[in-house]
Structure formats: structure tokens, C-alpha cells
Amino acid sequence: MDALLDPGSSVVEFACPRCGHQAVDEWETIADRHPASWRCNACLSGFSVLIVECQHCAAETSDVALCEAELEPASRLRCRSCSHLCLHDEVQAKSADAA
Ligand SMILES: [Zn+2]
Ligand SMILES: [Zn+2]
């Protein structure tokens, strides 16, 4: 496993909530923590995507929903890589006395 070789160029995948078709934001048009509209290449229906970069391991986790109102809030999204909450304001305070 060669994890986190270059987080800056990682490609985020997510699945269409209607048909399950895998989509890739290969041009990185979706901004971190900002819900975006996406159109599925397979069934051509629109849906909403939220991408959040994990503050623990820098992996990017995505959430999809049929509309923006159904998306999980960024603050409650769990990282697929380390399973922590992606956004955690106590991280800085805790890492100070980690050593
Ligand atoms: Zn689809
Ligand atoms: Zn993580």
C-alpha cells in the first residue's frame, strides 16, 4: 500500500446515488467542503457531491445525495481511510501534548 504519496494529486471517486455509476472528479472541479452539482455520465441525472479532506490523514472522503439538502454536513462526515471525523477542531490542541 503506497498511501499518501501525493495527496495533492489524488483523484476522488464517488458513485451516482441513482444508478451507482462511478464518477471521478479528474479535473478537481469540486472544492473541498463545498457541495457541488454533478451530472452522471451513465443515467444523466444530476446529484450533489461533497468532498472533504480529512484533517487527520489528508485522505479525501466524498458524500453523495440526490440534492444538496440531503448531503451529510461536512462536520459530520467520517473519513473512509482512518474512520475519524474528517473535521476535528481539537486536533491541534491534542497534537501539542502528543509527544
Ligand atoms: Zn447515474
Ligand atoms: Zn482520515
Position 1 in a domain: no
Number of domains in the chain: 1
Residues 66-83 have pLDDT tens digits of: 999 999 999 999 999 999
How many angstroms does the Cα of residue 72 sit away from the middle of ligand 2? 17
How many angstroms does the Cα of residue 45 sit away from the middle of ligand 2? 30
Position 15 in a domain: yes
Position 90 in a domain: yes
Q: Which-ligand-closest: CA of 85? A: 2
Burial of 78 (0-12, 13-18, 19+ CB in 10 A): middle
How many angstroms does the Cα of residue 27 sit away from the middle of ligand 1? 19
Q: Which-ligand-closest: CA of 38? A: 1
Position 28 in a domain: yes
Q: Residue 90's Cα: distance from chain center in Å?
A: 20
> pLDDT 10s digit of each residue in the chain, 99 long?
444 555 555 688 999 999 999 999 988 899 999 999 999 999 999 999 999 999 999 999 999 999 999 999 999 999 999 999 999 865 444 555 554
CB 74 within 8 Å of CB 81? no
Which domain covers residue 80, as residue numbers?
7-96
